[in-house]
Amino acid sequence: MTGSEQPPVPDPEPDQRPVPDQRPEADQRREPPGQVPESEQLTAGGTEPEPVPSGLRNPAAAVRGVAAGSLSVETVVLLLAIAPLVRLGGERKGVAIAVVIALAVPWGVAAGSLRRPAGWLLGGTVQVVLLFSGLLHWSLAVLGVVFGLVWLYVLHVRRTVLGGGSGSRIG
């Protein structure tokens, strides 16, 4: 060994004390077998379980954020569809490109106006218009189907998070 090298230092022995269970108290509680958890028990009336809060500070804002993000991504994808339409658009490519550009504006407006019910209506309307613009080019119909399914999922998330059965107003 040269003077610059030092012998390896042995690892200290691990602490032999038992480690306490560090899970939160709620995780440590378990229902006995065959017993229904409190969150799933019937109310005093015996009809329906109590609604479980979503755990979000502002569920309406969270849902609007999901919808706005979805509409924003759809706007970008729609604008990126112009390049293939220029190459593969066929005889109606000019009209198809004009429709894509014209749809990008209300899509952006819908993303920014989701605080009002009209914003949600506009978000659904542009989906339907895009689907029908598939008459100009098949690729727009494909985008219309995909975006329509995404919008239906956003509406499902909205209803799930904000609750509301038939007739309730969600906003």
The pLDDT value recorded for residue 7 is: 67
What global pTM score does this model have?
A: 0.63
For residue 145, being part of any structural domain is answered with: yes
For residue 76, being part of any structural domain is answered with: yes
The pLDDT value recorded for residue 167 is: 44
φ, ψ at 9 (rounded to 5°): -90, 130
Where is 127: in which H helix or E strand?
helix 117-132
Distance CA 160, CA 41 (A): 20
For residue 37, being part of any structural domain is answered with: no
For residue 91, being part of any structural domain is answered with: yes
In DSSP terms, 64 is beta-bridged to: none
Ramachandran area for residue 52 (φ above 0: left; ψ -120 to 50: alpha; else beta): beta
**Side-chain-side CA neighbours of residue 140 (13 Å):** 29
Question: Which residue is associated with the tokens 């995404």?
Answer: 150
- The DSSP code sequence of 3-17 is TT--PPPPPPPPP-S
For residue 53, being part of any structural domain is answered with: no
* Full pLDDT tens readout for the chain, 171 residues: 566 677 666 655 655 555 555 555 544 555 555 555 555 555 555 555 555 566 778 888 999 999 999 999 999 999 999 998 898 878 888 999 999 999 999 988 999 999 999 999 999 999 999 999 999 889 999 999 999 999 999 999 999 998 865 444 444
The amino acid at 2: T
The pLDDT value recorded for residue 166 is: 46
The range of the structural domain enclosing residue 119 comes to 59-162
Domain count, the chain: 1
